[in-house]
Each structure stands twice: as C-alpha cells, then as structure tokens.
C-alpha cells in the first residue's frame, strides 16, 4: 500500500477544497493506504486558528480535523505561514507546529504528495 502526504493551501472558507481533502483522506485510509501527514500551508494555516467560528449550517471544519486526528494522522501547521498570519502558536489544537524542512522530509519519503489548493 502507498504512503501519502497531503497539503492544504486554502482558507477554511473554501469548503469545497476542505471537503475534497477530507474525502480523499478517508478513501485512502479505507483502501489500506497510510497518510503520514497533512500539512497546512499558506492560507491553510487558518484551519488551526482558535478563532474559527462558522455558522452551524456551514461545514464543521473543526470536527473534520478531529476525525482525521483520531485516525492517527500527523496534522502539521507551517510555523512560518502561521506567524506571518498572526496565529497563536501556543494554541493550535490537534495540529503540531512544523517547518518546511520537516514537511519536505516527509514528502520525500512518501510515495505520493497530493496538494489541495
């Protein structure tokens, strides 16, 4: 089975991209593949913001991340992108703070790297 690394580059308001990543991740897991990490980059780092407060009729983004975390997927947040966007790195929820070097190592060791933009 293949090992995947996924990266998300779009903001939480882009529900379509978030849903595609989530469904792709679940499909990979259902087929027996491994997802080594999901890396939030660029505007994707806003998914880790403690200030996300979407209406109840919108996509439950925090719930999706918690579900992926329960599958033991390493959820990573780009430290540089997060700092540039003013995120509180002391409160990132299920996300670990990582650098591009860590992401590059994981991506180079994986069979596939899939970007969601």
Q: Which CATH number do you get for residue 50?
A: 3.40.1260.10
Write the DSSP assignment of the chain as a string of letters. Answer: --EEEEEE-S-TT-HHHHHHHHHHHHHHHHTT-EEEEEEE-GGGGGGG-TT----TTS--HHHHHHHHHHTT-EEEEEHHHHHHTT--TT--TTPEEE-HHHHHHHHHHSSEEEEE-
Name the residue range of residue 21's domain: 3-116
Domain count, the chain: 1
pLDDT tens-digit profile, the chain (117 residues): 999 999 999 999 899 999 999 999 999 999 999 999 999 999 999 999 988 777 777 788 999 999 999 999 999 999 999 999 999 999 999 999 999 999 999 999 999 999 999
Catalytic machinery residues: 78
């Amino acid at each position: 089975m293949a090992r995947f690394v996924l990266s998300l580059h779009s903001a939480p308001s882009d529900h379509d991209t978030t849903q595609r990543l989530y469904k792709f991740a679940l499909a990979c897991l259902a087929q027996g593949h491994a997802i080594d990490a999901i890396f939030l980059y660029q505007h994707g780092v806003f998914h880790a913001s403690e200030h996300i407060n979407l209406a109840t009729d919108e996509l439950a983004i925090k719930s999706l991340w918690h579900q992926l975390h329960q599958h033991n997927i390493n959820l990573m947040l780009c430290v540089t992108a997060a700092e540039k966007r003013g995120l509180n790195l002391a409160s990132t929820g299920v996300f670990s703070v990582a650098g591009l070097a860590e992401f590059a190592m994981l991506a180079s060791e994986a069979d596939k790297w899939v970007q969601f933009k």
